[in-house]
Structure 1
């Protein structure tokens, strides 16, 4: 399967990139950072340097790759968990404008499979953005994956699990792989 992975160098994106390429999928891994393109290539994927907010460039990248599946694993979160509230508007923009741009690019490219990251709780200041994001994905016939809070290496909770809902990052990636052919709908992935 040809998979366009938006958010390939994020905390779950890196794990999905490894699993997808190890399973023999042909993957285009999108990252905003030119410095991370070599990392994407080293994992066996085609690096795509792009920004989900540049709709024209995104459209060209998706159409050129001709994927069977577009996977939306984008967020805009800080490295410091205490600064999450400062990033609410930026992360909401990923959920709204970013999702619209990815869905539009997938549609023009004729992609019929779309998986998108969401959350299994309601972050403060994000009720409308999360609901709108999920509605857009479902209206397009995609799969919404509501993850619990990630924990494990590289997450905001590296040393132990947070309060529920939660999911270990490795388990989240492994269970996401089982959804590549899932029918449209909402899937909740948590440890609980």
Structure 2
């Protein structure tokens, strides 16, 4: 039986992913930061390990004990929308994880990344499009985090990097009581008319499982329906039955959406091919 070790196992993606991996017949361990998380994993049938992604020794103890075949790196830090904290997790945390993986001979690893840090240009970005190295401010911090995460992950021989589009669904910014949802309900929205590429949280989970069989490489994971911000905002407001003041600003050059052709060429399949399907039941 294949043994899979999941970091961020009690997070938004991790919670769903560990459950699905068990259903698929894998032996699953989860890395969490608290005793509460440990209890949650135990109750779900996941082998729990408590530690800190910044603490090499706690990762070493967990990996050394469980001896996984594959590591799925789903850890992030977006609780307070703090880009610097999330970048630190991506760079330093992933380095610790990879160092330990190499020490224990783990030859396969998958990391969760993002698909909205490409440089500006015409048309949809592909995996060959460079990252936005000319970015400034919080975006520069985010790009640096993605670059660090992906470089560290690539030290593992068999690695897959999944660059997700904007996550939506229950528990996300776009789900009920999420940050974006609340802006629409509260009556004042500011956004651009740039192109966005979305991915449902359930598709993010299923894709992570599918990608266990992908060739080594980097993949954009987004739906088939990139959409301009103004078009989406009108649709979303109508779906919620609200009439907020929507201030649409001109798009930034990097707001271009992404192509998912490489992902589909690997046999990747989506539950929701369009955000119109995945968001239609939100109220």
The alignment's TM-score, normalised by the length of structure 2, stands at: 0.63
- Cross-structure match for 2:218: 186
- Cross-structure match for 1:99: 94
For residues 23-34 of structure 1, the aligned pairs below 5 Å read 23-34=24-35
Q: Which runs of 5+ in 1 are unaligned?
A: none
For residues 35-114 of structure 1, the aligned pairs below 5 Å read 35-78=36-79, 83-84=80-81, 87-114=82-109
- Cross-structure match for 1:174: 206
Report the alpha carbon displacement of residue 70 of structure 1 after superposing the two structures with TM.
Answer: 0.6
Compare 4-13 and 130-139 and name the one that shifted more.
Answer: 130-139
Structure 1 contact 96–133 (Cα < 8 Å) conserved: yes
RMSD of equivalent CA atoms = 1.8
Structure-1 separation of matches of 2:97 and 2:107: 13
- Cross-structure match for 1:146: 163
Structure-2 separation of matches of 1:57 and 1:132: 21
Structure-1 separation of matches of 2:114 and 2:165: 6
Report the alpha carbon displacement of residue 6 of structure 1 after superposing the two structures with TM.
Answer: 0.4
Report the alpha carbon displacement of residue 132 of structure 1 after superposing the two structures with TM.
Answer: 2.0
- Cross-structure match for 2:23: 22
Structure-2 separation of matches of 1:25 and 1:14: 15
Q: Which runs of 5+ in 2 are unaligned?
A: 118-137, 182-194, 225-283
Higher relative CO (Cα under 8 Å, sequence separation at least 6) belongs to: 1
- Name which of 102, 113, 119 aligns with 2:114: 119
Structure-1 separation of matches of 2:52 and 2:5: 14
Structure 1 contact 21–43 (Cα < 8 Å) conserved: no
Structure 2 contact 98–155 (Cα < 8 Å) conserved: no
Structure-1 separation of matches of 2:74 and 2:167: 13
Structure 1 contact 63–108 (Cα < 8 Å) conserved: no
Report the alpha carbon displacement of residue 139 of structure 1 after superposing the two structures with TM.
Answer: 3.3
Compare 117-126 and 61-70 and name the one that shifted more.
Answer: 117-126
